[in-house]
Structure 1
Amino acid sequence: MSIKFLAEDDRPREKFLLKGKNSLSDSELLAIIMGSGSRDETAVELARRILTSVNNNWHQLSLLSIKDLMKFKGVGEVKAISITTALEIGRRRASQEIPEKPVISNSHNAYQIFRNHLSDLRTEEFWAVFLNQSNRVIHLAQLTQGGINQSIVDIRVLFKTALDHYSTGIVIAHNHPSGNLKASREDIEITQKIKEAGKLLNIQLLDHLIITQNSYFSFSDDGLL
């Protein structure tokens, strides 16, 4: 069914031009991204069906692969790539919304920086924030990418990066794609190794966060540092 047969107010592109982007529903935004519907549905109807399947949650939609999206009737490879690309642009935009050289004074400050990079990934990654003497961020880096259940960090690379940026403190973080916030034995062991290595270089490990889609666990807050 073509959108051109709908009332102008129900056609997302025309509605965008007439009333502005803020007037569009999530389904209408997704419909514009897809560009067209199918023989049986308008783009808006198809978009609404897709969003309903993920409880109208953009984060959940971003977890779907190209193959997952193509399982929806009316979604081919081109539409699936368009959706995934738009969501990736949104993720990158969000990751750049970090205040200029913020100060980390607690675990929530650190979480605000890491969550845009780690909260919606399917595999584990290990990141670090490097701080100056005032606990102000001077560098942010992804150190490793792992599998679904494991991300191993090279402690030498971590501290080389810290030394390269004249850092006196670090906060590390990795994600658990499973959604489990509990620190594993390996998580605890690597944290202690990093802490002890930092003492030798006079670089303090301030915290280690485990990030899930909607929350985080802090080693410091839980007394594990």
Structure 2
Amino acid sequence: MAYTEMKHLSIPEWNEGDRPREKLLARGASQLTHAELLAILLGSGSSKQSALELAKIILAEAGNDLSALAKLPPTYLTKIKGVGDAKAITIASALELGRRREEGQEAKKIQTVRSSHDVYQLFRPILMDLMHEEFWVLLLNRANRVMSKVMISKGGLAGTVADPKMIFHHALLNQASAMILVHNHPSGNLQPSQADRDITKKLRNAGDFLDLPVLDHLIVTEAGFFSFADEGII
């Protein structure tokens, strides 16, 4: 018995109701799967696979996890057959827009810091997808209203350098009344290292001397946070 080769159908050859773009227009973006939305971003597939099939392959590379996909650099995505620079950059840009949207929404909601959870909500969108450590400082006025969020340094997977002179330079320049230290652990480990404890103590002592108190130090991961103040160690 002879078998005929199955013809590959490109998206324009599908039934109109099954095409991602038409489906979005007819039903709304919320009704599309991750793969369908990604296929729209890709725009096209290749001679051997549709954009939707390519989207499913890309998602599989990230374990079908959008947070994991956001961590993949464009250079990694281009290693997937059918993904060139343009497609990889489009994906990275779309995910970054989503992150910035979340960051902006949290910033609008939280104008005054009342708890460590407020600080976490402000910084989670900034730090959650990073594969390297970053050290930030949150500057507050006397009413604990947010004045500014300043990135002090970025490093590798295992750590970054927090220069006290740079931190207090920004605080004094902005005439802040208090500050909160924030950095991420890409590993997901919420326990502070000895270096974390040492820099916290050093900055707290310097802040006390300058009458510019360090109110807290948060370690941030996707799953949660560690607060030095909540744990009574600042």
Same fold (TM over 0.5): yes
Deviates more, 1:101-110 or 1:70-79: 70-79
- Counterpart of 2:62 in structure 1 is 54
Cα displacement string for residues 123-160 of structure 1 (whole angstroms, at most 9, x for unaligned residues): 11111111111111111111111122121111112112
Partner Cα separation in structure 2 for residue 55 and residue 222 of structure 1: 35
Q: 1:168 aligns with which of 162, 171, 177?
A: 177
Partner Cα separation in structure 2 for residue 216 and residue 92 of structure 1: 20
* Conserved 8 A contact 1:101-1:138: no
Aligned positions of 1:48-127 closer than 5 A? 48-97=56-105, 98-99=107-108, 102-127=111-136
- Counterpart of 2:210 in structure 1 is 201
Q: CA RMSD, aligned part only? A: 1.6
Partner Cα separation in structure 1 for residue 21 and residue 110 of structure 2: 39
Deviates more, 1:39-48 or 1:192-201: 39-48
Partner Cα separation in structure 2 for residue 83 and residue 101 of structure 1: 29
Partner Cα separation in structure 2 for residue 183 and residue 87 of structure 1: 29
Secondary structure of 1:89 counterpart? helix
Offset at residue 101 of structure 1 (A): 6.0
Offset at residue 76 of structure 1 (A): 2.1
Q: 2:227 aligns with which of 193, 211, 218?
A: 218
Partner Cα separation in structure 2 for residue 210 and residue 122 of structure 1: 15
What one-letter code is carried by the residue in structure 2 that aligns with 1:46? Answer: L
Partner Cα separation in structure 2 for residue 107 and residue 100 of structure 1: 15
Cα displacement string for residues 154-183 of structure 1 (whole angstroms, at most 9, x for unaligned residues): 111211211222211111111111221111
Offset at residue 100 of structure 1 (A): 6.2
Count the aligned residue pairs.
Answer: 225
Secondary structure of 2:108 counterpart? coil
* Conserved 8 A contact 1:120-1:212: no
Partner Cα separation in structure 1 for residue 78 and residue 164 of structure 2: 41
Return 5+ residue gaps in structure 2 as ranges: 1-8
TM-score (norm 2): 0.90
* Conserved 8 A contact 2:110-2:122: no
- Counterpart of 2:51 in structure 1 is 43
What one-letter code is carried by the residue in structure 1 that aligns with 2:97? Answer: I
Determine whether 1:186 maps to 2:208. Answer: no
Offset at residue 77 of structure 1 (A): 2.2
Offset at residue 207 of structure 1 (A): 0.8
Return 5+ residue gaps in structure 1 as ranges: none
Identity of aligned residues (%): 44
Partner Cα separation in structure 2 for residue 148 and residue 53 of structure 1: 21
TM-score (norm 1): 0.93
Offset at residue 94 of structure 1 (A): 2.1
Partner Cα separation in structure 2 for residue 46 and residue 214 of structure 1: 30
Largest Rg, 1 or 2 = 2
Offset at residue 199 of structure 1 (A): 0.3
Determine whether 1:138 maps to 2:140. Answer: no
